[in-house]
Chains A and B, each alone.
Chain A
Amino acid sequence: MPEIVFWHWYALAAALVVLEVVVPGVLFLWLAIGAVVAGSLVFFIPGLDLLYQVLAFALASGLSLLFGHNMMRRLLSEPPAQAALNQRDQALIGAEAVLIEPIANGSGRVRLGDTSWLVAGPEAPVGTRVRVVAAEGTRLKVEVL
């Protein structure tokens, strides 16, 4: 069995990054970071026992996953270009519409686009102009203009 030197770990890290690019999802990045850490350890402490190298790799991978989680959170916290994609209710906030059913007992109906939506809001007769202020799932909260 040839001795494992730090280049081997670096090669593994590079291979894992390539895999990361090819395979969808952020999976191999953490293992690559672990491999880099293990390789650096071997670089500073040559002739380290293989088991310890693997231990270092495993631990570093796990830790990178834990910390990367928080880092990724911050990266992902920036809003996407189209915030309301696949979230039709959010896209409707601020829209103005006319009641086609009166708001009675807190619930009525408006026409928006070419469909009608359930709305919740203050009592109002048919034909009142309202503005959508919030979306609670399939029911929109409105205020009378």
Chain B
Amino acid sequence: MEGFGVFVLVLLVLVLVLVFMGVKTVPQGHAFTLERFGRYTRTLNPGLNFIFPVIDQIGAKLTTQEVVLDVPSQKIITLDNAIVTCDAVAFYQVINPAQAAYEVQNLTAAIINLVLTNIRSVMGSMALDDVLSRRSEINDKLLAIIDQATQPWGVKVTRIELKDIAPPEDMVQSMARQMKAEREKRATILEAEGVREASIKRAEGEKAAAILEAEGRREAAFRDAEARERAAEAEARATNAVSEAIGAGGTGAINYFLGLKYIEALAGIGMAPNSKVTFLPLDASGVMGAISGIAELTKHVGGDGAAKPVKPWGQG
């Protein structure tokens, strides 16, 4: 009875151990590897799993969710010998838990070191300007290289992103200076162009004004000349008419006319307002002549008492 009691107790303990160790619940998002006598046999998927506690044991507990790996920052020398500090972030997911557990010893350390060295080699083959401006290209290159390298480990690297690329402080300052200088250059050029445009416009305006003015003068001169021509023509016509009249009606009419004008002119000289002295640059004989001319006229008019009618001008 004593031995039987011990046996029953041990059996009870064994059953309890079987129950507590043999039932494995794997949570979603995880995968456990099962080792039978230390050798990998299968992968326990999420849900309820039974194992034989005596011969089986759980090897590795892996997560099948996507994992974010922070890649520590490092100093990199670019192709043009600039030293930049750069850190990155990598996303990976375990696709084949067995490979991830047994093909590589320390998965995260392995991936981080791969990323570090490959960032160095990819960025070391580019100039600083390219490194700063072609990040997505670098990301794609890194992803292709590292995904290929991690393939035997049953891991899918889904994304590698360069987080921060920081050139040294003095480099940043000179970059800023360069940018400022370029902007200033643009501003100066623009200002000069503005001045140039303005002076061209101004000169063009002045030119147009001068041309217009000259044209105006020319036009005016033409008109003046025309006016003078017209006046001369009119004078000539008047002279013509007078000479025709003289030709037709003898010299009496013109003599009368001239005499009249002469006397009128004398009157005008005499009536000049400020002159106390009337200066007559006249030879008396001229005046006499004129007067005698008038006398001639009267002779024609009054000789016999009956006036001979004077022929009007223009009737030869």
Contacts and interface: CB of A to CB of B under 8 A. Distances in A.
| A and B held together in a complex | yes
Contacts of A117: 147, 156
Interface stretch (B92-100, B194-202, B293-301): B92-100
Interface residues of B, number: 42
Contacts of B11: 55, 58-59
Interface string A74-88: 001000100001111
Contacts of A25: 23-25, 48
B5 interface: yes
Cβ-closest 8 pairs across A and B: A137-B96, A86-B64, A25-B25, A115-B158, A58-B15, A58-B12, A58-B11, A69-B50
A89 B148 contact: no
Interface of A: 24-28, 30-31, 34, 51, 54-55, 57-59, 61-62, 65, 69, 72, 76, 80, 85-89, 101, 109, 114-118, 135, 137-139
B5 A115 contact: no
B164 to A, nearest CB: 21
A61 B15 CA distance: 7
Contacts of B23: 25-27, 30, 65
Interface in B12-70: 12, 14-16, 18-20, 22-25, 28-29, 46-48, 50, 64-65
B20 A27 contact: yes
Nearest to B1: A51
Contact of B155 (A61, A87, A135, A138): A138
A138 B157 CA distance: 9
B147 A116 contact: yes
A117 B143 CA distance: 10
A130 B148 CA distance: 20
A58 B12 CA distance: 5
Contact of B93 (A34, A88, A116): A88
Nearest to B27: A24
Residue among B8, B151, B155 facing the most chain A CB atoms (10 A cut-off): B8
Contacts of B15: 31, 34, 58-59, 61-62, 65
B241 to A, nearest CB: 106
Contacts of B155: 138
A137 B23 CA distance: 27
12 contacts: A26-B48, A30-B23, A31-B15, A31-B19, A51-B1, A54-B9, A55-B8, A58-B15, A62-B18, A86-B65, A117-B156, A135-B95
Contacts of B147: 115-118, 138
A124 B155 CA distance: 25
A65 B154 CA distance: 34
A92 to B, nearest CB: 10
Residue among A58, A62, A86, A109 facing the most chain B CB atoms (10 A cut-off): A86
A65 B159 contact: no
Contacts of A137: 95-96, 99, 151, 154
Interface string B138-166: 00100110011011001111110000000
B279 interface: no
Nearest to A135: B95
B48 A72 contact: yes
Given A55-B8, A80-B47, A86-B29, 6 more contacts: A25-B25, A58-B15, A117-B147, A118-B148, A118-B151, A138-B154
